Amino acid sequence: MKLSRHHLAALAAFLIWGFFPIPLRWLTGYASGQILFFRILLSLLLLVVLHGLGRRAAVAATWRQWQAAPARERRQVGWSTALGGILLTSNWLLFIYVVNEVSVQAGSFAYLICPILTALLGFLLLGEKLRANQWAAIGLSALSCALLGAGELRTVLMSLVVAFTYAFYLISQRRLQGYDRLVLLTVQLGLAALLILPLAPLLGARPLAGFQDGHLLLVAGLLSAGFTVLPLFLNLYALNVLPSGTVGILMYLNPLVSFVLAFLYFGERASVEQAVAYGVILLSVVLYNVVFQRRAP
């Protein structure tokens, strides 16, 4: 199969996200809240500049779309956008903490099980249907978590919290279909900035000291431009043409690359129980994405 520009864009986006732990580890020793504060702030500034330079029409169209919508839809979009901002902020904070304070493996495991957790939440909260093989995959995912929990309970609990916050974020965004995702992300980051400013001291963030720290600003700028805004653009470009199912399959590149980095780059090790658990979750991912064809009678 020949890869189109849209396939390459999706591949590039998830490969970039897979290498995210490397620059994040350059900030080991900084409070997670400090890293989060500057990632949100710099990402928001970049998005505002991008919208101002070349996406003003998209911003205006999104505003008109929301204004023309029925009152119930406007409320749903407003609440979903606000909730999404809170969940995304929580997920970023937890992921930063897990990668820098627990292990890269824990962060990778979280995003490996996230699509399966999202499917389960879709069934429980939205009444979405699941195939038999998807139920089997959910069972295998639960088994992998039990295996990890038997050896390292803290690791699996942190992974599950990270996975659940992102899964809830994805579920909350289902009501926003048809709206420009990048515009809504900018709104969400704006709300996140308003939320984190008064909470900065509680999260260990020191904005004034951070603005005088060249290393922090440089790495946070890289995280914002190279590992947040750029892959988001590539992902949105791919979604304009590719089916969401295709992009969903490619999404697994992100945690798989991070797993490879954990062992080969960061020198982390896995116990026998962890290795078996990772094997089980990989099996569940394959099983979840298999589509069985019915034979014609």
- Residue with more model confidence, 282 or 291: 282
pLDDT digits (tens, 9 = 90+) for 121-168: 888 888 888 888 888 988 988 888 888 877 677 888 889 999 999 888
- 279, 270 contact by CB (below 8 A): no
Rounded CA gap, 95 and 238, in Å? 25
Amino acid at 34: Q
Per the structure block, which two tokens stand in for 204? Answer: 């260990």
Q: What share of the chain in percent tops pLDDT 90?
A: 41
Question: Is the pLDDT reported for residue 290 higher than 60?
Answer: yes
Q: Hey, is 279 helix, strand or coil?
A: helix
Which residues are paired to 30 by β-bridges? 28
pLDDT digits (tens, 9 = 90+) for 191-223: 999 988 888 888 888 888 889 999 999 999 999
Average pLDDT, the chain: 87
Q: What is the pLDDT of residue 291?
A: 63
Given this model, what pLDDT does residue 297 score?
A: 44
Domain extents in the chain: 5-288
* Residue recorded with tokens 């914002």: 224
